[in-house]
Amino acid sequence: MKKKYIIISALLLTGIFSQSCSEDFIDVSPTEQVSVDDLSLYNNNAGATSFVNSIYAKFLDWDMSTFAWIGVTSITSDDADKGSTPGDTGTDKDILDALTFTPSTPSFESLFSSNYQGINRCNQALKYLPQLNNADENLRARLTGEAKFLRAFMYFTLVRSFGGVPLVDHVPTSSPEDVEMQLTRKTKEEIYAFIEKDLIEAAAALPDRTAYSGTDAGRASKGAAHALLAKVYLYQKKYQLAIDQCNLVTGYSLTPNFIDIYKVSGENNAESIFEIQGSGIETGKGIQQYTQVQGARGTGGWGWGFNTPTQNLFDAYTAEGDTERRDATIIRKGMTLYDGRVVGADADNDYYNYKAYSSAYTTQSSTDANIRYLRYAEVLLIKAEALNELGQTSAAIPLLNQVRDRANISNTTASSQSDVRTAIWKERRLELAFEHDRWFDLVRTGQAQSAMTANGKTFVVGKHELFPLPQTFITEAKGRSAQNPNY
């Protein structure tokens, strides 16, 4: 992506609802502001691109992609423990690990507010791009598609986490209607309908991934929009629609060696559909502390040691004879990594997240390691699950086996619809561990209570299916939005 980008005035829902989100300026730096009267300065291709680059830049933030995110999506689940040391709570990671969180747990406010800040950048871009008539029309159409994809991506995070949330679909003014928009939850179904619309429009506007090269590698593509829409449909049990979208994801293939996916050399490769870009960004602008927070802790280590793989996950690989994926997912004490680094035998924890590792950034806070969010392997598993749920089990099994074959494990022995369903769900865990889906998969498939029990946690049915909305938002809403049940 381009190295120059502007940081657009962000909408932070929590704490500033009584104020309007300013339309009067675009933030260029913490100390510079450019009046909208000077929008002509951006009325060119570089300026138009800068609007959308600012959205991608949001994903580099600590609150968006690092500490809160790994806590909410991994540490809550049976894939990960808090890690670090017993005395280091990580602000609230011990609470997330124990599932004793409340509306005041800080990670939820970070997750909520950072995604709305990103959504506001999308809304800013969608407002101003049509006004930049000196910029190439085809470029503006593509950038509009990227902004809609990224907005849908963030709303998908919010709806999976909290259920219904406010639907902010334009840059707010101080009007009473816009105040209500920011303070009032829409239903889960309304949010999903909005996500679907954004992704359908994005798919129509975006090019194939082959249209991008150089610093544009990793931008949202047509395949990314179709893949994310397939996932959105899967979550709603719209199985035929999910299959139809999977069939439109073409031009991708599985990486022969699983571990190669997660090396810097494997970024944006033939299997990659969408990644948060940690490299190719302006020096010092990588994903904030993503590698550092999860790196091995103690003698010979390079990080804080949070989000450590559980024994439960390690054993799940071992029981399957799935050592190739296990050893590309889980770092062990005394292990020699792919770049020759030896992890100390006296590290503080037994296991660490290999998928967050970067050779080059073990001594720096920001990381060049990309976060893999959508891969072709998941598209195969989405299609397999949807086919199986529609009773087309014989068509689902070969797709499941493609993923297993790449992992060098034997074909599934499952044949009934029920057994194949279980096999696909298990495959998702082993294939996608630490790619920020496990908690949501457990909830959507109804496995959460039994999985948490097996990992020594108590999942409260009727409560933990959703995270609590931040108390700051509930307080500011003044009755316009109700808290999720049983919080």
- pLDDT, residue 369, reads 85
- pLDDT, residue 285, reads 64
Helix (H, G, I), strand (E, B) or coil at 99: coil
- pLDDT, residue 37, reads 60
pLDDT digit of tens for each residue in the chain (487 aa)?
Answer: 332 222 223 333 433 333 333 332 233 332 233 345 678 889 999 999 999 999 999 999 999 999 999 999 999 999 999 999 999 999 999 999 999 999 999 999 999 999 999 999 999 999 999 999 999 999 999 999 999 999 999 999 999 999 999 999 999 999 999 999 999 999 999 999 999 999 999 999 999 999 999 889 999 999 999 999 999 999 999 999 999 999 999 999 999 999 999 998 999 999 999 999 886 434 446 889 999 999 999 988 889 999 999 999 999 999 999 999 999 999 999 999 999 999 999 999 999 999 999 887 666 777 778 999 999 999 999 999 999 999 999 999 999 999 999 999 999 999 999 999 999 999 999 999 999 999 999 999 999 999 999 999 999 999 999 999 999 999 999 999 999 999 9
For 75, other C-beta atoms within 10 Å of its C-beta total 25
Q: Provide the residue ranges of all domains of the chain, joining segments of one domain with +.
A: 289-365
- pLDDT, residue 74, reads 98
Q: Which amino acid is residue 375, in one-letter code?
A: R
Whole-angstrom distance, CA of residue 53 vs CA of residue 46: 10
- pLDDT, residue 11, reads 38
